[in-house]
Structure 1
Amino acid sequence: MRFAVIGGGVIGLTTAYALVRRGHHVELIEKQNQVALETSFANGGQLSYRYVSPLADAGVPLQALGWMLRGDNAPLRFRPAISRHQWRWCLRFLQACRRSTNRRNAAHLLRLALHSQRVLRDWREEDGLSDFAWRANGKLVIHRDRASFENAAAALDPAAGQRVLDARQCAEIEPALFPLAERLKGGIYSPGDEVADCHLFCRRLLERLVRSPNFQLRSGQAVTALNRENRRIRSLSFGKESLEVDHLLIAAGAASVRLLQPLGIELPIYPLKGYSLTLPLSSHVGIPETNVTDYDNKVVYARLGDQLRVAAMVDIGGWDASVDQRRIAMLQRLAGETFPGAGNYRNATQWAGLRPATPEGTPLLGATTLDNLWLNVGHGSLGFTLACGSADVLGDLVTDQRPAVAMDGLTFTH
C-alpha cells in the first residue's frame, strides 16, 4: 500500500518506520528542512512507560487556581484567549478532572505504553537500532509534599511494577538526592522505565528509512490544503504543487488541528507549551543516573549521554513556541537548587515546544470519517513514550489487522 504521512517528528517517523517495515511505500512530508526540529527536538527524554497519569485529575482545577496566582513561578500557567477552541478544550479538561476518569484514562495509556516499550525493544534487538543514548535506568518520582505523596501512594497500581519509597530509600536508589533527603516525603519508583534522546532517535530512524526504496522524504514543504473528493482525500497541495495520495496519515502534532479544520474535522487538541534546558556535563558527580521527576515542581531530569536534560512547566494560552525567558529563569533556579553540582544552568541550551494534548490525556489513533484518512495525534507530554506503540497500532489498523492492544479510549470520535 502507498501512504503519505504528514509530520516529521517522532510520531511521524515511527509511523513511517512501522509501515516501511511492513513493506508499504511511504512518502513523509515535513515542513521544516530537517526532521524533528520542533516538539521532538529537546523534550524531557524520559520513556515513562509506567508513570502515565494524565494531567486531568481530581483537585487539579483548585490547584491550578493557586498556581495562577503565582504567575511566572507556577508549574502551570493559563492565559485565556478569545478562542472557542481553547475554551471548548478547557471545558472538556474540567470534565475529565475526576479520579475515576483519571484512572480509566491512565489504564488506557499504560496499556499502550507497555506495548510501546515492547516495540522499541524489538526494533533495537531485531533491527539493531542504536546510538540514541538509550538506557534502562528506571524512574523515580520524588514528593516534597506529604499530601501529594500519600495520594500518589494510595493510587499506586502494583501491577504496573512500581514501588513506594521513603525519603531514605529514594536517596539509596539515587545518591544524587542525598542532599535533598531531609526535604523529601517519599517517592514512587518504576525500575523498568528508560531514557533516550528523542532527536537522536528520530535521526537514526531517518537513516534507516532513507536506505529503503519504499521511502521518500519531502522536507521543507508545508502542506497548504487537503483536497477532498466524496469520502476520500484525493491530493495534498503545497502552494501550486500537488501530490495525489492513496492513504493519508496525519502525525503533525498541534498543527494537525488547523490542517483538518477545513475538512470539518475538529480535533480536541490544544498545544501545551513546555520548556527544557540541555546542560553539557563535565563530570557525573552529583548527577542523577536514574530519571528523576520532581512532582511538586513538575520538573523532570534525565541524563542523556554527556548531557543533563531538564524539562518542565505547562503554558496553556496560545500557539507560540518562542522561549519565555521568565519561565527559563524559573527552570534554571529550580534545577540549580535540586542538582547544583551539574554545572551552571545559565550556560545550558534553552528550548520550548508545543505538546499536542487532548483534554483527557489520551491520544487519537486510527480512522476518521473519511475512508483513507488516518490519525496518530494528541500524545501530549508522552509522545516519545507512546510513539513506537502508536506506530505499530496504526500499522495494524490501516491494513485491517487486529491491533496488539485494545483500542478503548484511544480513538477519535467525530
Structure 2
Amino acid sequence: MTGRTHRGSAVTRGVDGPQIPNQPHRVVVCGGGIIGLTTCYYLARRGHEVVCIERESQVGMMASYKNGTFFDSTLYSSWADLSLLYKKHMHQVTTSSKEKGFRVEAAAWIDPNFWAWGLKFMTNATSKRAKENGRKIRELGFYSQRKLQELLRMHPEVEDEMEPTAQGTLEVFQSKAEKDDVLESDRIKHCAEFQFPLQPLDPHEAADIEPALNRSIFAPGAIFSPTGTNGDVHKTCMALATLCKQHGVMFRMDTDIKDVLVVDNRVVAIQVANGDLIEGDSFVLALGNHTAAVAKLAGIKLYMYPVK
C-alpha cells in the first residue's frame, strides 16, 4: 500500500501494522489502561524495550477508572447477533420491563462513522458470522483468563491490590425456556469441551449460593461458574504500573498523541503535543474509544463506535 506524505505533517497515509517479532526491539504502547499495562508487562517479560504513552497524569484514569467489572471467560457472546437483538426487542415489547431500550444519540445519525460501523455490525450479525465471532471471543477470553491467573500466581501483590471479592458468577434467566436454550447452546458445549466446570442449578441451589437476592429471581434456575471473579480495575492498573517499572517499562505521562510518522509503509514514530517524536519498531494502540482516531492518522480504518 503506497502512502501520501503531507507537507508540514508527520503523516504518510497508508500503512499495514507489523507483527511484533520474537527478537528484542523497541515497542511503543499507546494507552495506560488495563489493556495497555498488561501488554507492557508481557512485552517487557519477553525482553523488549517498552515505552508506554498516556495522556492522563496517571494510569487507569479513563475506562479503567472506578469501572465496575467482573471477569468470567465462560460468559462470552458476539454482540453482533440478530437472534440476540430480536430476543432483546421482543422482551421489551411483550413485557413491562423497566430495562433501558436501545437508543441512538442524535449526533450519531449524521455521523458517517456510525453508518460505516453499523453496516459492518449488521454484516457480522448473521448466524454463521455470529458463531465464528463467538469462537474468536471464546479463544481470546480463555487465553486472557490463563494469562491473568499466571500473572496473579507470579505476583500476588497485584491480586492484593485487585481486591477480588467474587467467588464465581451466577447466570440467571427470565424463563426456563431461556435457560434450556442456553444449556443447548454452542457456548455451553464449548465450555464443557475445555473442561470449564459450569454447574446448572435449581432455584434452591442458586438461592443458597447468593442468599442476598430475592428468591423469585432464581425461579427458572441458574448456571454457576466457579471461575468468575471481580476486582478494582484502577487499583489493579496502579499495581501493574509498579510491576511494569520493575521490569524496565518507561512511562510518558501527560503525553497527548497528535500525529503518526510513517515511512515506507511502516509506522516509525508517534508525534506528541510538545513536538517530540517517540520512535519505535512496533506500536500498540490500547486507547479504547480513541483507538480509531489515532489509527486514522496512520491511514488505517478501524470500524469502532462507542456504546454504553
Q: What TM-score, normalized to structure 1?
A: 0.60
Secondary structure of 2:212's counterpart equals helix
- Paired residue type of 1:14: T
Please give the residue correspondences for 1:43-122 in structure 2 after superposition, counting only pairs within 5 Å.
43-63=67-87, 65=89, 73-74=99-100, 76-79=102-105, 80-122=108-150
Give the deviation of 1:12 after TM superposition: 0.5
User: Does residue 130 of structure 1 match 2:153?
Assistant: no
The alignment of Structure 1 onto Structure 2 pairs a total of residues equal to 271
Secondary structure of 1:164's counterpart equals strand
Q: Which residue in 2 is equivalent to 1:324?
A: none
Give the deviation of 1:145 after TM superposition: 3.3
Instruction: Report the Cα distance in structure 2 between the residues aligned to 1:204 and 1:14, rounded to whole angstroms.
Output: 11
User: Taking structure 1 as reference, are residues 82 and 99 closer, same or farther at Cα in structure 2, changes over 3 Å only?
Assistant: same
Q: Which ranges of 4 or more aligned residues in structure 1 deviate by more than 4 Å?
A: 63-73
Q: Which residue in 2 is equivalent to 1:38?
A: 62
Structure showing greater radius of gyration is 2
User: Taking structure 1 as reference, are residues 19 and 261 closer, same or farther at Cα in structure 2, changes over 3 Å only?
Assistant: same
- Paired residue type of 1:47: F
- Paired residue type of 2:253: S
Give the deviation of 1:59 after TM superposition: 2.4
User: Does residue 175 of structure 1 match 2:175?
Assistant: no
- Identify the match of residue 233 of structure 1 among 267, 281, 294: 267
User: Taking structure 1 as reference, are residues 229 and 68 closer, same or farther at Cα in structure 2, changes over 3 Å only?
Assistant: farther
| Larger strand proportion of the pair | 1
Please give the residue correspondences for 1:252-401 in structure 2 after superposition, counting only pairs within 5 Å.
252-273=287-308
Secondary structure of 2:163's counterpart equals coil
Instruction: Report the Cα distance in structure 1 between the residues aligned to 2:298 and 2:100, rounded to whole angstroms.
Output: 37
Determine if contact 1:3/1:246 at 8 Å carries over to the other structure: yes
Instruction: Report the Cα distance in structure 2 between the residues aligned to 1:91 and 1:232, rounded to whole angstroms.
Output: 29
- Identify the match of residue 141 of structure 1 among 171, 182, 185: 171
Give the deviation of 1:64 after TM superposition: 5.4
Instruction: Report the Cα distance in structure 2 between the residues aligned to 1:225 and 1:57, rounded to whole angstroms.
Output: 36
Please give the residue correspondences for 1:168-247 in structure 2 after superposition, counting only pairs within 5 Å.
168-177=204-213, 179-181=214-216, 184-212=219-247, 214-239=248-273, 240-247=275-282
Secondary structure of 2:296's counterpart equals helix
Tell me the alpha carbon deviations over residues 31-66 of structure 1, each in whole angstroms, 9 at most, x when there is no partner: 111111111113332111111112222323334556
User: Taking structure 1 as reference, are residues 203 and 67 closer, same or farther at Cα in structure 2, changes over 3 Å only?
Assistant: farther
Q: Which residue in 1 is equivalent to 2:27?
A: 3
Tell me the alpha carbon deviations over residues 237-293 of structure 1, each in whole angstroms, 9 at most, x when there is no partner: 1132222222211111110101111322111221122xxxxxxxxxxxxxxxxxxxx
- Paired residue type of 2:202: D
Unpaired runs of 5+ in structure 2?
1-24
- Identify the match of residue 181 of structure 2 among 140, 148, 151: 151
User: Taking structure 1 as reference, are residues 202 and 182 closer, same or farther at Cα in structure 2, changes over 3 Å only?
Assistant: closer
Instruction: Report the Cα distance in structure 2 between the residues aligned to 1:148 and 1:186, rounded to whole angstroms.
Output: 10
Determine if contact 2:289/2:305 at 8 Å carries over to the other structure: yes
Q: Report the RMSD for the aligned CA atoms in angstroms.
A: 2.5
User: Taking structure 1 as reference, are residues 150 and 67 closer, same or farther at Cα in structure 2, changes over 3 Å only?
Assistant: closer
- Paired residue type of 1:205: L
User: Does residue 23 of structure 1 match 2:23?
Assistant: no
Q: What TM-score, normalized to structure 2?
A: 0.79
Instruction: Report the Cα distance in structure 1 between the residues aligned to 2:170 and 2:217, rounded to whole angstroms.
Output: 17
- Paired residue type of 1:11: I
Q: RCO (CA 8 Å, sep 6+): is it higher in 1 or 2?
A: 2
Secondary structure of 2:284's counterpart equals strand
Secondary structure of 1:5's counterpart equals strand
Determine if contact 1:168/1:181 at 8 Å carries over to the other structure: no
Secondary structure of 1:227's counterpart equals strand
Q: Which residue in 2 is equivalent to 1:289?
A: none
Unpaired runs of 5+ in structure 1?
274-414
- Paired residue type of 2:138: L
- Paired residue type of 1:31: R
